[in-house]
Structure 1
């Protein structure tokens, strides 16, 4: 059976994690133990070469734990190889399971891109997310960064080192498109020995995300249909008006006498100039796009808001305004669109 410890999650600093981990490897809760800093370091590193910085971190951690009354030390040691008596006093709380071999593999190594003490502290943070049943975890890079109090780039660097040590397995779950754009999904983590479980859980996770995305797509389609139904009452009467208005062109000739253009060599050109001077080009009196259709409109603009579609009454008001501002201009019969474009 693999040997492990239960590290309390309330212990957060690097020094305290190192000290408590070593103590739990050498003693049981509520039992008096005789040990030394050198002995605690050897438990962590599996008899690797002594490191003064690691010994200093252990001494600092022991002092902090003693002040917090998590441990009780009667006579504090002055040297690394000096023995002292200690009693561990941990109350019932949540904890993280750490195996001896992974502790010793991390603490016994020398790394180009990481300090073993800080790497170990980060790993305890990552391991605290593991689910005891599924054996996997889904923390975001930001969560790990905040909990471990290190930069996100350091999280990514430590993940790479732990993966190379065959301590963890990581499933990259890829990207997904949502309303905010393209977003990366959270990684799925596990211990190396649980890599197959990690792959299975990652597949379930991606499947769940896809279902949620499809559900949002269905809702969006339903919203589009809702828009269609709300637009329809405005479009139908408009289609009747457009059909009766000679291909959507307002013909302002109801009250024009037949001889109103006598004496003009090219009345159409002069009238067009007058219209432009008043702010109305030749085709500016069109009420709406000529080929507008309900389906094309709603399919090409699925996110259109209701108030972006002008009501029948608003269109009538625009017609009245155009006619009012152009009533003093004598206009001949305007040809149809097809003739005007030739």
Structure 2
């Protein structure tokens, strides 16, 4: 019989990360089964709670119940916390604790786990990247929440507006797609401000922290006249592909959805762009009834969702390895294997 030390030694970095996420899902599921988590103070079946918790931590956005009406404030906050943890990765929060409390003195095992969760970024650069991720996340979610809250104060109370702003800003940036409105954003399909803010948050979260970090460095180098001033191959690839996919998807949806011809041109453009962004970032929000869309539109959305968001972002998908391999391949061609 192996002793405890031998069993611990058998845990690889991947297994440790998997166990960590599994424990978080189980804790979230248990919390969602509590009567206090539902609006009617009833206990939700564990299998349903497990489904929602898993969907939240994986930022999938699927649910067996209406989030806005079924869950209480407590239940919705549990879901929002799971979304935030899932969007950033729980090792990111461990890194924050290590940085602000432990002075970045992480045991070797946790350092390896952090490196794995950051897509193999060297530990020497992980500290700087973690700070950047925290800054980007805070800025985007905070600014998004403020703008949305101010807008919704026209319709709801101050406290309700602030809560709606925070919830949807976090959900959008983490590309989770959980919303508190029963029709997602169909009621706001012609609203430029709401569409624009939600779309920007989705793209910012889906494009990847590495790209945001690279753009930030490019901006700093430009204003300080530091050389070289250029984006990495990975960032160029992510930006070009993301923009191309969004434009292609929006164009196909705009042409295919002839049922929207009665709407103003601006509304049709907003709907097409919003659905393309939502699909390409795997967010899941919608401003049109998905079931009423044409097969052509549904097919292009399936393609966009299959390709998914960029590596290293809140919506990173199974195709991360494909993106990374393409980046490495292009780097080898240009003689820049260290990109």
Normalising by structure 2, report the TM-score: 0.23
Normalising by structure 1, report the TM-score: 0.23
Relative to its length, the structure with more strand (as a share) is 1
Relative to its length, the structure with more helix (as a share) is 2
